Structure 1
Amino acid sequence: MGMGMGRGPGGTIGVNNLYLTRDGRPFVPVMGEFHFTRTPAAEWEEELLKIKAAGVTIVSTYAIWNQLELAPGRLDFTGNRDLRHFAELCARHGLMLFLRPGPWAHAEARFGGIPDWVVARTRPRSDDPAYLAEVERFWRGLYGQVQGLLWKDGGPIVGVQIENEYNLTGEGRGRQHIATLKALARRIGFDVPLYTVTGWDHTVYPRGEVLPVMGGYVDEPWSAKTVPLPPKENYVFRFASRVSGDLGAQTQSRARGDAEDDTADTPFLGAEYGGGVPVMYRRRPIVSPIDIAAAVNTQLGSGVNLLGYYMFHGGANPLANGRTLEETQDSGGYNDVPAIGYDFQAPLGQYGEVNPVSGALRPFHYFLAAYGDRLATMTARAPAVQPGGNGDLATLRWSVRSDGQRGFLFVNNHVRQQAMATQANVRFQVKLAGETVTLPSRGVTVPGGASFFWPVEMDLDGARLAWATAQPLTRLEEAGGPIHVLAATLPGKVELAFAGDTVSRLSVPSRREGGRVIAEVLPSRRAIRVTLANGRTVRLAVLAAADARRAWVGDLAGRRRLVLTAAEAFFDRDRLVLRQRGAERFEVAIFPAADVSASTPLSHGGDIYRATVRGTAAAALPVRQVRAAGEAPPVRIGGPARAAMQPLPEAHRAAAAWTFTVPRTAAAGFLEIDYRGDIGRLFDGADMLDDAFWDGRVWRVGLKRFADRLGRPWTLSVLPLRSDAPIYLDESARRQVPASGQIAELRSVRLVPERELVLTAR
């Protein structure tokens, strides 16, 4: 393959037709998108630590051209645009970096990120010499920022994505344009282990020169439909094609994409599995943690060997000389998105808050860190009976990834907004080279909404786990030897079946059956001792599903540890930082145990530390209405999507407005705005701080970012939402809209403090 230099002081990155390698070993990284220009530089380091704590190993970032060049010929890499500093922070904390320099990024940015003046006088996304000259100038500026920080130099940058969602053909376009851009990147100096292109929406590229990366989203906010979508293919295991359906490319093609014919020669890599979905003007879906987790489970069960998310961390669009840079239909884009808000319902939100979806995804990430080298070599195998299509909600969906000797069984019984049939008395047959494994020993019930994977013939440091009705989470080391941690996946007891020739006894009641030692255990934080046939011991802990969602894995005081807490967590050398909104009482368990201290008094019982961090309680802010709502104009229909269009600026004259003052003491907290309407906008004087399209959720605004603006009046405006607006809202939100007329209403504005507990390990 036409990849660049893979060797560097940090080791060797390689690739074959099945998986990535690090120092010659199979490697399944987790990649999460985080846009440096969409978060203040002062917050980068802490946000990167949060990303790392969630199990991400590679940070990917667009270098959005029009957010870096605010005036013709004046690239700006200072302050919040300091790419070099961002890359150095990734290196400091052991995170790899994947650079996505476009030049077309999409990213819900104006003109896909290409500056207006380049669009106006060149032929973008082609081999037009005038366009390529502008791209070369931009890319040389980027290279100047990252020179010396490539993987070969000991830096974090392991890859470059060329263009995005490229399916254009014709003179100066097509495969040749991607080849031209790659050659330009190499000539400038971007010599990296991996070069990729996006592989969906009928993409074209020079095969052998770049690796296609895949994606999928559980809803389509770019759709023009105003009703729930049919069942998405992301919930069905893939055995033929890696390519999802519509992922929102702004250009259309009906030709067969090159990625469809490249599967034998390239590994199954992902870059844009939605960690959430954006809220766009005409379509505002709200996704749940299981919506996202079930789709991730099916992709892993289909063979994905790079789990890449878009977005993993939300952000805020910067302004350029007072002008907004978001994608709009009025500027020729296919979508209308908020001018500033780019939260994306991601695991880490726009203001760095940890959202519940994080807890549903982290177990996958920790599994890949501990056992991904095993999964990487395994290919997806289809069961004899498969669903008849995306809409078949009665047939159980499952897959096995196996190397012939061992494997992992993936099961999905969840589809967003659909009621899946409960599957009773379920057992599976997995054919391996020497035997057919039938598991579990007795039939189980798989309820609708369940999604999980189980190990088959998994080696646990000498104990061969024939199967478990629990999902592997991580592996820890302590003085007594290794501890393998699993997580329960179904209600009730978990069945553990060991090969009888590798295990002599367990520390819990067990039975011998068919050459196996089988135990049924209730989930617990207490480890089970497994005595091997040779007398050595291995321990196994089976956590409850709720504990798995509270799990964090990271390095603390020189040792890999598992932390169980309902709080948000990240690791910073010898410090474990815990935060939570509102609640005063912290509770945390650390395995293996650590000797910790805190400035706040700690109580310690068993494995659990407890502390209370007092402070100002959550409270409603007094607000004063300063303008009543006028009549909102009818929603425009048109644009490239021929669907509902975002109102013109003049429409906001109909917005209702309220004013309130946030105390200067409230910087360590969030503003929660409970409103009903079409568009909410928050102002400090003439400066818009944030905006949102109402979707039924409470709008949360982090106050730390605006600390220098606190103590003076802010204004909230709410444009009325007409009952006849042809936009999609989930049913929970639609029920809050009157059957006729319009709504522009403010229920409350609350201050919710964020409390912090820092534990220092000795």
Structure 2
Amino acid sequence: MTARSPHASTLLTVDASRPAVTPRTGMLQMGTNTSPDGSAIGINSRYLTRDGEPWLPVMGELHYSRVPEAQWDDQLAKVKAAGVDIVSSYVIWRYHEPRPGQFDWTARNDLRRFVETSAQRGLLAFVRIGPWVHAEVRYGGIPAWVVDQVPARSDDPLYLQYVQRFFAEIAIQLQGLLWKDGGPVIGIQLENEYNLTGPQQGREHIATLKRLALEAGLDVPLYTVTGWDNAVFPRRDVTPVFGGYPDLPWGTSTAMSPPNEVYGFRFTSRVGGDLGAQTHNDGPGDADAVAEETPFLGAEYGGGVPTMYRRRPVLDADDIAAMLPVQLGSGVNLYGYYMLHGGRNPPGDLDGQESTATGGYNDLPIIHYDFQAPFGANGEAHPVLGKVRPMHLFLQQWGRALATCDVYRPDVIPQGHDDLQTPRYSVRADGDRGFLFFNNHVRQHRMPAQRGVQFAVKLATRAITLPSTPIDIAPGVWFIWPIGLPLGNARLRYATAQPVTRLTSSEGETHVFAATEGIAPEFAFEADSVKQVTPADARSTLGVHESDDALIVHATPGEAFIATCSDGTRITIITLAREDSERLSALTFDGQRRLILTDALTFERDGELVLRSTGSASFDFAVYPPLTHTPSSTHQMVESQRYGVFQRFTITVPPIAFDARITPLRTAQKMPPIVLGGTAHAAVEPTPETFGKAAAWRIDLPEEALNAPGLSNAYLSIRYTGDIGRLFSGADMIDDHYYNGLPWQVGVRNVAIDPRQPLILTVLPLRADAPIYLDARYDPRVDSNDQVAEVQSVSYVPEYEVIVSRR
């Protein structure tokens, strides 16, 4: 597919000439928003502010109690390197007060240490205190001893006494860490998915929770509640946050989902569809009623989805990434992920998961909580990370400009979520500048190619048509293109490439773009702002022509060019191929922010670059701007041939290999039919007694494989076919997994494997008639009329680590 289309032209039009709405201030009654050094976090009717400037941050959920505390520092450094600004986390009550009045804030429950570590890694914190949090935990995280005694989620006096004590304990843990004290905690979320309107419930209960939080000392700049599923809350005391997921594993259908609304731009209500609330409210809810007073903030845009018993969708990376241009193009001014980082429920808590057996709507694994998120249950990078990280870098650089932009709908919009023919796009603009958002991806539903397309955007004082000639947009393509974007002292009228980030050095500015798949990058500069354009490499060629008072540059992905501005200053433009943009990080090293291209997972820790490679004992990474001297490394490093403008290095480490041998112990017995039941009247997980029918294997792994030197971790990669897999170290269950077709990855440093005990894998058979949804690509029932419980392989996959330091 090329940029120029042989087809008849289709002009996609949008009028963005109406002035952006002026923000209204003083509408929301939040807490203290100024830190001791004068830094301020603010909120108006349209966006957040930081030190008085518009702010559009990225927030990602990581549950400290679901990650070993020894790994927090590295995991938070990874989160920071992913371009995330705020880490959010539930405070799951049942983990902290398992018995009345006996609180545990130690080890992986050490909230204080987690928040302190977040600050050390340059992250702000948003603490979601509940007390009901959902989180796929039994009773939404409220301890059983509370639920057994009082009506929870209400203004019942005894319940409020327990909540008051819990909030007071949280406040003790966060003492000195709130924004007003110079700490990183900028926000508190109250409750979750609250839409109850019975006695002692409703808006008044949320107001009570806020009062209790303030009385405990939890005084922060922002107070939020979730706004979906007909949520109710006190107007102006809190601001609603929103979300959406690419599939609905809490649904009851055993078929593939229809086109999901998260892939269609929103021009009216901010409220998404079914987000899995456990309660029901027939009223309209409060979120839309306050849309003119509150900004469009997100907290639960799916970084993946959980695997539930009756529905087990498998996501592709674009299923998650394509949501970003849609939600941002719909006006979202805080992009919050749930989840950003997976994990596991704490060891020993074998009845704490949400389950139909304890009255929950869904069945979840007892331990495993991977979520198919950018970072998995072990902290490993999933492919989606490379897709979303460039978007985060874009928001860090240009979120301030985007935040003030209003949303403008096209002249023709799709008729519904299932309209796959009408182009999906929007413009956010403020005056004569803005961004064009486009999406041609809908999960599991192929969109048609849009052929012969040009966009016509009417701005405040001018109209712009882009690109210069019609293009074809392939199925599955999504992008954000800039309009009227200043680049240094050059004025970019538009580009058909996505802005990613900017570097500043003594030699001038470097602006980084990512090519859009199948579309040649075109940069149109206002002719009076740029007097010369030359390739950065004299051996390269560059297409340049003038049209309609614009200097139009046809760039080549992977190469760079230099634009000399009318005032003599120069800027460098690097256009990365799409695959290279997915390998890109922007990290501070050797005294300045640099671009790093590598297949390895990369982050900065205390001035050093940490590179981790799963399965491969060789590292290849490229750096821009080039280093003035060769850095040192924990392993021999060789400078190799340059990669465009990037300086390139290769490192090879000694390979490490161990065999994970599997020995059959018993074959599976005949499974009874899956029972339909629970409040969803759908497939429920088999009873505990049924697991005695599982097939079993012993895994033999050398003890030295558990803590091999030179490795940051290692994974048992289990490929099996069945219903439910469980892994035991002796009699202790250390992990479990609902089969979905993906390899089950168990980090040997993420679970407690006792080398003195046998390591046992069990697989409960999957019946051919099981009424559960599996992705057709991985469904073994197509070729079976009985049941299946098989292990294809268990392999040991090392995760190598290299540390690169300034010499």
Shift of the alpha carbon at 1:93?
1.4
Task: Provide the rounded CA distance (Å) in 1 between the counterparts of 2:238 and 2:409.
Answer: 28
- What's the CA shift string for 1:89-147, capped at 9, x where partnerless? 01111110000010000000000000011001111001000100000111111111111
Shift of the alpha carbon at 1:735?
4.3
Structure 2 residue aligned with 1:690: 735
- What's the CA shift string for 1:538-582, capped at 9, x where partnerless? 111110000010011122233222111011111113211111111
Structure 2 residue aligned with 1:318: 346
Structure 2 residue aligned with 1:518: 552
Shift of the alpha carbon at 1:584?
1.7
Task: Provide the rounded CA distance (Å) in 2 between the counterparts of 1:170 and 1:579.
Answer: 52
SS of the residue aligned with 1:221? coil
Q: Please say if 1:678 is aligned against 2:729.
A: no
Match of 1:633 among 667, 672, 685: 672
Task: Provide the rounded CA distance (Å) in 2 between the counterparts of 1:68 and 1:707.
Answer: 21
TM-score, structure 1 as length reference: 0.98
Contact conserved, 2:30 with 2:222, CA < 8 A, in 1? yes
Q: Please say if 1:177 is aligned against 2:212.
A: no
Structure 2 residue aligned with 1:761: 806
SS of the residue aligned with 2:357? coil
Structure 1 residue aligned with 2:656: 616
Shift of the alpha carbon at 1:627?
1.0
Contact conserved, 1:556 with 1:573, CA < 8 A, in 2? no
Q: How does 1:400-439 map to 2 (within 5 A)?
A: 400-439=427-466
Give the superposed CA RMSD.
Answer: 1.2
Task: Provide the rounded CA distance (Å) in 2 between the counterparts of 1:83 and 1:707.
Answer: 22
Q: How does 1:702-717 map to 2 (within 5 A)?
A: 702-706=747-751, 709-710=754-755, 712-717=757-762
Shift of the alpha carbon at 1:333?
0.6
Q: How does 1:262-411 map to 2 (within 5 A)?
A: 262-319=290-347, 323-411=350-438
Q: Please say if 1:68 is aligned against 2:108.
A: no
SS of the residue aligned with 1:90? helix
SS of the residue aligned with 2:322? helix
Structure 1 residue aligned with 2:570: 537
Shift of the alpha carbon at 1:751?
0.5
- What's the CA shift string for 1:422-444, capped at 9, x where partnerless? 01111001111111100000111
Task: Provide the rounded CA distance (Å) in 2 between the counterparts of 1:736 and 1:113.
Answer: 36
Q: Please say if 1:91 is aligned against 2:119.
A: yes
Task: Provide the rounded CA distance (Å) in 1 between the counterparts of 2:490 and 2:547.
Answer: 17
How many percent of aligned residue pairs carry the same amino acid? 50
Match of 2:147 among 97, 100, 119: 119
Shift of the alpha carbon at 1:622?
1.6
Q: Please say if 1:730 is aligned against 2:775.
A: yes
Match of 2:638 among 598, 603, 607: 603
Contact conserved, 2:230 with 2:282, CA < 8 A, in 1? yes
Task: Provide the rounded CA distance (Å) in 2 between the counterparts of 1:706 and 1:150.
Answer: 32
Task: Provide the rounded CA distance (Å) in 2 between the counterparts of 1:28 and 1:680.
Answer: 41
Task: Provide the rounded CA distance (Å) in 2 between the counterparts of 1:451 and 1:680.
Answer: 37
After alignment, is 295-304 or 489-498 more displaced?
A: 489-498
Contact conserved, 1:406 with 1:456, CA < 8 A, in 2? yes
Match of 1:659 among 679, 686, 698: 698
Contact conserved, 2:453 with 2:473, CA < 8 A, in 1? yes
Give the letter aligned to residue 431 of structure 1: K
Q: What runs of 5+ residues in structure 1 fail to find an aligned partner?
A: none
SS of the residue aligned with 2:287? helix
SS of the residue aligned with 1:161? strand
Task: Provide the rounded CA distance (Å) in 2 between the counterparts of 1:336 and 1:288.
Answer: 23
After alignment, is 192-201 or 696-705 more displaced?
A: 696-705
- What's the CA shift string for 1:427-484, capped at 9, x where partnerless? 0011111111000001111011001110001001111111111000000112211101
Match of 1:128 among 149, 156, 162: 156
SS of the residue aligned with 1:623? strand
Shift of the alpha carbon at 1:511?
0.8
Match of 2:685 among 646, 653, 657: 646
SS of the residue aligned with 1:55? coil
After alignment, is 586-595 or 509-518 more displaced?
A: 586-595
SS of the residue aligned with 2:98? strand
SS of the residue aligned with 2:147? helix
Structure 2 residue aligned with 1:189: 217
Contact conserved, 2:188 with 2:224, CA < 8 A, in 1? yes
Contact conserved, 1:602 with 1:610, CA < 8 A, in 2? yes
After alignment, is 488-497 or 429-438 more displaced?
A: 488-497
Task: Provide the rounded CA distance (Å) in 2 between the counterparts of 1:504 and 1:46.
Answer: 47
Match of 1:592 among 620, 625, 643: 625
- Closer, same or farther in 2 for the Cα pair 1:5/1:531, shift >3 Å? same
Task: Provide the rounded CA distance (Å) in 2 between the counterparts of 1:491 and 1:479.
Answer: 35
Contact conserved, 1:281 with 1:644, CA < 8 A, in 2? yes
Shift of the alpha carbon at 1:647?
0.7
Structure 2 residue aligned with 1:563: 596
Contact conserved, 2:661 with 2:701, CA < 8 A, in 1? no
Task: Provide the rounded CA distance (Å) in 2 between the counterparts of 1:672 and 1:737.
Answer: 25
Structure 2 residue aligned with 1:258: 286
After alignment, is 428-437 or 67-76 more displaced?
A: 67-76
Q: Please say if 1:461 is aligned against 2:496.
A: no
- What's the CA shift string for 1:612-644, capped at 9, x where partnerless? 112224x65221111110011211110011000
Contact conserved, 2:473 with 2:518, CA < 8 A, in 1? no
After alignment, is 489-498 or 173-182 more displaced?
A: 489-498
Shift of the alpha carbon at 1:707?
6.7
Q: Please say if 1:152 is aligned against 2:180.
A: yes
Structure 2 residue aligned with 1:8: 35
Structure 2 residue aligned with 1:165: 193
Greater RCO (Cα-Cα under 8 Å, separation 6 or more): 2
Q: How does 1:569-580 map to 2 (within 5 A)?
A: 569-580=602-613
After alignment, is 153-162 or 728-737 more displaced?
A: 728-737
Give the letter aligned to residue 713 of structure 1: P
Contact conserved, 1:661 with 1:712, CA < 8 A, in 2? no
SS of the residue aligned with 1:311? strand
Shift of the alpha carbon at 1:178?
0.4
Task: Provide the rounded CA distance (Å) in 1 between the counterparts of 2:794 and 2:359.
Answer: 36
Q: How many residues align?
A: 759
TM-score, structure 2 as length reference: 0.93
Task: Provide the rounded CA distance (Å) in 2 between the counterparts of 1:620 and 1:411.
Answer: 48
Contact conserved, 1:620 with 1:748, CA < 8 A, in 2? no
Task: Provide the rounded CA distance (Å) in 2 between the counterparts of 1:68 and 1:349.
Answer: 24
Structure 2 residue aligned with 1:475: 502
- What's the CA shift string for 1:182-209, capped at 9, x where partnerless? 0111111010000000000000001111
Q: What runs of 5+ residues in structure 2 fail to find an aligned partner?
A: 1-27, 535-541, 707-712
- Closer, same or farther in 2 for the Cα pair 1:640/1:707, shift >3 Å? closer
Q: How does 1:16-55 map to 2 (within 5 A)?
A: 16-55=44-83
Shift of the alpha carbon at 1:583?
1.1
SS of the residue aligned with 1:692? strand
Task: Provide the rounded CA distance (Å) in 2 between the counterparts of 1:473 and 1:62.
Answer: 31
- Closer, same or farther in 2 for the Cα pair 1:705/1:490, shift >3 Å? closer
Contact conserved, 1:579 with 1:754, CA < 8 A, in 2? yes
Shift of the alpha carbon at 1:709?
2.2
Give the letter aligned to residue 345 of structure 2: N
- What's the CA shift string for 1:269-290, capped at 9, x where partnerless? 0000000000000000000110
- Closer, same or farther in 2 for the Cα pair 1:103/1:707, shift >3 Å? closer
Give the letter aligned to residue 562 of structure 2: R
- What's the CA shift string for 1:153-195, capped at 9, x where partnerless? 0111000001000000022110000001001111110100000
Contact conserved, 1:69 with 1:115, CA < 8 A, in 2? yes
